[in-house]
A = this chain, B = another copy of it.
Protein backbone atom coordinates (compact mmCIF):
# COMPACT_ATOMS: atom_id res chain seq x y z
CA UNK A 1 0.00 0.00 0.00
CA UNK A 2 0.83 3.65 -0.01
CA UNK A 3 0.22 6.88 1.83
CA UNK A 4 0.61 10.24 0.08
CA UNK A 5 -0.67 13.55 1.38
CA UNK A 6 -0.71 16.99 -0.22
CA UNK A 7 -1.48 20.29 1.55
CA UNK A 8 -2.47 23.39 -0.40
CA UNK A 9 -1.86 26.44 1.79
CA UNK A 10 -1.74 30.19 1.33
CA UNK A 11 2.05 30.04 1.64
CA UNK A 12 2.63 27.12 -0.70
CA UNK A 13 2.27 23.40 -1.26
CA UNK A 14 3.60 20.63 1.00
CA UNK A 15 3.71 17.05 -0.29
CA UNK A 16 4.77 13.86 1.44
CA UNK A 17 4.85 10.26 0.18
CA UNK A 18 6.07 6.91 1.45
CA UNK A 19 7.95 4.44 -0.76
CA UNK A 20 6.69 0.97 0.14
CA UNK A 21 5.37 -1.18 -2.68
CA UNK A 22 4.23 -4.74 -2.41
CA UNK A 23 3.29 -7.41 -4.94
CA UNK A 24 1.40 -9.77 -2.67
CA UNK A 25 2.23 -9.85 1.00
CA UNK A 26 5.78 -11.15 0.84
CA UNK A 27 7.27 -9.26 -2.08
CA UNK A 28 8.03 -5.83 -0.67
CA UNK A 29 10.13 -3.20 -2.40
CA UNK A 30 11.02 0.46 -2.28
CA UNK A 31 9.81 2.65 -5.15
CA UNK A 32 9.67 6.41 -5.42
CA UNK A 33 6.10 7.75 -5.53
CA UNK A 34 7.00 11.46 -5.77
CA UNK A 35 7.92 12.92 -9.15
CA UNK A 36 8.97 16.51 -9.76
CA UNK A 37 8.86 18.47 -13.00
CA UNK A 38 10.40 21.90 -12.80
CA UNK A 39 11.42 24.82 -14.94
CA UNK A 40 12.35 27.37 -12.29
CA UNK A 41 10.51 30.64 -12.71
CA UNK A 42 8.07 29.10 -15.20
CA UNK A 43 6.50 26.09 -13.47
CA UNK A 44 6.92 23.58 -10.68
CA UNK A 45 4.77 20.44 -10.84
CA UNK A 46 4.72 17.47 -8.47
CA UNK A 47 2.95 14.16 -9.05
CA UNK A 48 2.45 11.56 -6.30
CA UNK A 49 1.22 8.06 -7.11
CA UNK A 50 -0.80 5.31 -5.42
CA UNK A 51 -1.99 1.98 -6.81
CA UNK A 52 -0.67 -0.65 -9.20
CA UNK A 53 2.99 -0.03 -9.91
CA UNK A 54 2.62 -1.15 -13.53
CA UNK A 55 -0.02 1.56 -14.06
CA UNK A 56 1.82 4.37 -12.27
CA UNK A 57 5.21 3.58 -13.84
CA UNK A 58 3.80 3.44 -17.37
CA UNK A 59 1.81 6.64 -16.82
CA UNK A 60 4.87 8.49 -15.55
CA UNK A 61 7.05 7.05 -18.33
CA UNK A 62 4.59 8.29 -20.93
CA UNK A 63 4.50 11.76 -19.38
CA UNK A 64 8.31 11.80 -19.32
CA UNK A 65 8.56 10.57 -22.94
CA UNK A 66 6.36 13.46 -24.03
CA UNK A 67 8.51 15.93 -22.09
CA UNK A 68 11.64 14.55 -23.77
CA UNK A 69 10.08 14.73 -27.23
CA UNK A 70 11.18 18.04 -28.80
CA UNK A 71 8.13 18.01 -31.08
CA UNK A 72 5.55 17.58 -28.26
CA UNK A 73 3.28 20.59 -27.75
CA UNK A 74 0.97 21.60 -24.90
CA UNK A 75 -1.46 18.79 -25.73
CA UNK A 76 1.24 16.18 -24.97
CA UNK A 77 3.86 17.59 -22.60
CA UNK A 78 3.02 18.81 -19.10
CA UNK A 79 6.02 21.17 -19.44
CA UNK A 80 4.21 22.98 -22.24
CA UNK A 81 0.67 23.08 -20.79
CA UNK A 82 -0.65 26.61 -20.34
CA UNK A 83 -2.31 26.07 -16.94
CA UNK A 84 -2.30 23.64 -14.01
CA UNK A 85 -5.83 22.66 -15.06
CA UNK A 86 -4.44 21.59 -18.45
CA UNK A 87 -1.73 19.64 -16.61
CA UNK A 88 -4.34 17.81 -14.50
CA UNK A 89 -6.37 17.08 -17.65
CA UNK A 90 -3.35 15.71 -19.53
CA UNK A 91 -2.20 13.62 -16.57
CA UNK A 92 -5.77 12.32 -16.11
CA UNK A 93 -6.07 11.37 -19.80
CA UNK A 94 -2.71 9.58 -19.70
CA UNK A 95 -3.67 7.72 -16.51
CA UNK A 96 -7.08 6.70 -17.90
CA UNK A 97 -5.57 5.41 -21.15
CA UNK A 98 -2.87 3.46 -19.30
CA UNK A 99 -5.36 2.00 -16.81
CA UNK A 100 -7.63 0.87 -19.65
CA UNK A 101 -4.81 -0.80 -21.56
CA UNK A 102 -3.44 -2.63 -18.55
CA UNK A 103 -6.91 -3.53 -17.27
CA UNK A 104 -7.71 -5.23 -20.57
CA UNK A 105 -4.73 -7.54 -20.05
CA UNK A 106 -5.64 -8.06 -16.40
CA UNK A 107 -9.33 -8.77 -17.02
CA UNK A 108 -8.34 -11.78 -19.10
CA UNK A 109 -6.75 -13.10 -15.89
CA UNK A 110 -9.70 -11.99 -13.69
CA UNK A 111 -7.55 -9.37 -12.04
CA UNK A 112 -7.68 -5.61 -11.90
CA UNK A 113 -5.12 -2.82 -11.93
CA UNK A 114 -5.75 0.80 -11.09
CA UNK A 115 -4.06 3.86 -9.65
CA UNK A 116 -4.75 7.38 -8.46
CA UNK A 117 -2.51 10.43 -8.45
CA UNK A 118 -2.11 13.77 -6.72
CA UNK A 119 -0.99 16.50 -9.12
CA UNK A 120 0.07 19.82 -7.60
CA UNK A 121 2.00 22.89 -8.61
CA UNK A 122 1.99 26.36 -10.07
CA UNK A 123 2.46 27.77 -13.52
CA UNK A 124 3.68 31.34 -14.09
CA UNK A 125 0.70 33.70 -14.17
CA UNK A 126 -1.57 31.15 -12.52
CA UNK A 127 -2.56 30.14 -9.02
CA UNK A 128 -1.14 27.20 -7.07
CA UNK A 129 -3.47 24.25 -7.57
CA UNK A 130 -3.71 20.68 -6.37
CA UNK A 131 -5.78 17.85 -7.89
CA UNK A 132 -6.62 14.28 -6.99
CA UNK A 133 -6.82 12.33 -10.26
CA UNK A 134 -8.94 9.16 -10.20
CA UNK A 135 -8.20 6.05 -12.20
CA UNK A 136 -10.88 7.01 -14.73
CA UNK A 137 -8.97 10.22 -15.42
CA UNK A 138 -11.47 12.60 -13.81
CA UNK A 139 -10.29 14.71 -10.89
CA UNK A 140 -11.24 16.83 -7.89
CA UNK A 141 -9.42 19.90 -6.65
CA UNK A 142 -8.32 21.07 -3.20
CA UNK A 143 -10.00 24.25 -1.99
CA UNK A 144 -9.85 26.52 1.08
CA UNK A 145 -12.59 24.36 2.63
CA UNK A 146 -10.66 21.17 1.95
CA UNK A 147 -7.01 22.21 1.86
CA UNK A 148 -5.57 18.69 1.82
CA UNK A 149 -5.85 15.64 -0.41
CA UNK A 150 -4.75 12.09 0.38
CA UNK A 151 -4.32 8.89 -1.64
CA UNK A 152 -3.67 5.34 -0.44
CA UNK A 153 -4.03 4.47 3.25
CA UNK A 154 -5.54 7.82 4.17
CA UNK A 155 -7.63 7.11 7.27
CA UNK A 156 -5.03 6.66 10.01
CA UNK A 157 -3.45 10.03 9.29
CA UNK A 158 -6.62 12.05 8.72
CA UNK A 159 -7.61 12.98 12.32
CA UNK A 160 -4.47 15.07 12.93
CA UNK A 161 -4.92 16.90 9.61
CA UNK A 162 -8.61 17.52 10.33
CA UNK A 163 -7.58 19.20 13.56
CA UNK A 164 -4.62 21.39 12.60
CA UNK A 165 -4.63 22.17 8.86
CA UNK A 166 -6.24 25.31 7.51
CA UNK A 167 -5.23 27.52 4.58
CA UNK A 168 -3.32 29.90 6.91
CA UNK A 169 -1.10 27.14 8.35
CA UNK A 170 2.59 27.99 7.83
CA UNK A 171 4.80 25.80 5.65
CA UNK A 172 6.85 24.67 8.66
CA UNK A 173 3.74 23.69 10.62
CA UNK A 174 2.33 22.01 7.52
CA UNK A 175 5.48 19.89 7.06
CA UNK A 176 5.20 18.90 10.71
CA UNK A 177 1.52 17.95 10.30
CA UNK A 178 2.25 15.94 7.15
CA UNK A 179 5.11 14.09 8.90
CA UNK A 180 2.99 13.35 12.00
CA UNK A 181 0.11 12.21 9.81
CA UNK A 182 2.57 9.87 8.07
CA UNK A 183 3.99 8.77 11.44
CA UNK A 184 0.52 7.66 12.62
CA UNK A 185 0.05 5.74 9.37
CA UNK A 186 3.48 4.06 9.58
CA UNK A 187 2.73 2.93 13.13
CA UNK A 188 -0.72 1.56 12.43
CA UNK A 189 -0.18 -0.01 9.01
CA UNK A 190 2.87 -2.07 8.09
CA UNK A 191 2.14 -1.79 4.36
CA UNK A 192 3.24 1.86 4.46
CA UNK A 193 6.99 2.30 4.95
CA UNK A 194 10.09 4.48 5.06
CA UNK A 195 11.94 6.16 3.42
CA UNK A 196 9.74 9.19 2.79
CA UNK A 197 9.89 11.90 0.13
CA UNK A 198 9.07 15.45 1.19
CA UNK A 199 8.52 18.31 -1.25
CA UNK A 200 7.73 21.97 -0.66
CA UNK A 201 6.74 24.39 -3.43
CA UNK A 202 6.51 27.95 -2.14
CA UNK A 203 3.86 30.29 -3.54
CA UNK A 204 4.86 32.29 -6.64
CA UNK A 205 8.42 30.91 -6.71
CA UNK A 206 7.51 28.49 -9.53
CA UNK A 207 10.32 26.30 -8.17
CA UNK A 208 10.81 23.43 -5.76
CA UNK A 209 12.03 24.89 -2.44
CA UNK A 210 12.50 21.61 -0.56
CA UNK A 211 12.98 18.13 -1.99
CA UNK A 212 14.22 15.83 0.69
CA UNK A 213 14.36 12.07 1.15
CA UNK A 214 13.88 11.04 4.78
CA UNK A 215 15.72 7.75 5.37
CA UNK A 216 14.67 5.15 7.97
CA UNK A 217 17.58 6.21 10.22
CA UNK A 218 16.79 9.94 9.95
CA UNK A 219 17.43 11.28 13.43
CA UNK A 220 15.20 14.36 13.21
CA UNK A 221 12.20 12.30 12.08
CA UNK A 222 12.88 9.67 14.73
CA UNK A 223 13.09 12.32 17.45
CA UNK A 224 9.91 13.97 16.22
CA UNK A 225 8.11 10.65 16.19
CA UNK A 226 9.19 9.90 19.77
CA UNK A 227 8.34 13.42 20.95
CA UNK A 228 4.89 13.10 19.36
CA UNK A 229 4.25 9.76 21.07
CA UNK A 230 5.26 11.28 24.40
CA UNK A 231 3.23 14.42 23.82
CA UNK A 232 0.18 12.31 22.92
CA UNK A 233 0.54 10.17 26.01
CA UNK A 234 1.03 13.30 28.14
CA UNK A 235 -2.04 14.90 26.60
CA UNK A 236 -3.95 11.66 27.11
CA UNK A 237 -2.93 11.56 30.76
CA UNK A 238 -4.26 15.07 31.34
CA UNK A 239 -7.73 14.47 29.89
CA UNK A 240 -10.37 14.07 32.55
CA UNK A 241 -13.21 11.67 32.09
Contacts and interface: CB of A to CB of B under 8 A. Distances in A.
Interface in A193-233: 220, 223-224, 227-229, 231-233
A91 B156 CA distance: 30
Nearest to A159: B184
A241 to B, nearest CB: 5
Interface residues of A, number: 36
Nearest to A227: B239
B235 A231 contact: yes
B241 A176 contact: yes
Contacts of A180: 236, 239
Contacts of A71: none
A143 interface: no
A162 B156 CA distance: 11
Interface in A165-198: 172-173, 175-177, 179-180, 184, 187-189
Nearest to A236: B164
A160 to B, nearest CB: 7
A145 interface: no
Contacts of A232: 160, 163-164, 232, 235
A80 interface: no
Please give the count of copies of this chain that the complex contains.
2
Interface in A103-138: none
Nearest to A177: B236
Given A224-B241, A227-B240, A233 B164 contact: yes
Given A159-B156, A172-B241, A228 B235 contact: yes
Contact of A160 (B177, B179, B236, B238): B236
A26 interface: no
Contact of A159 (B172, B187, B240): B187
A69 interface: no
B239 A224 contact: yes
Nearest to A237: B173
A18 to B, nearest CB: 16
A227 B236 CA distance: 10
A62 interface: no
A7 B160 CA distance: 23
Contacts of A164: 232-233, 236
Given A176-B236, A176-B241, 7 more contacts: A155-B188, A156-B156, A159-B184, A159-B187, A160-B236, A163-B187, A231-B238
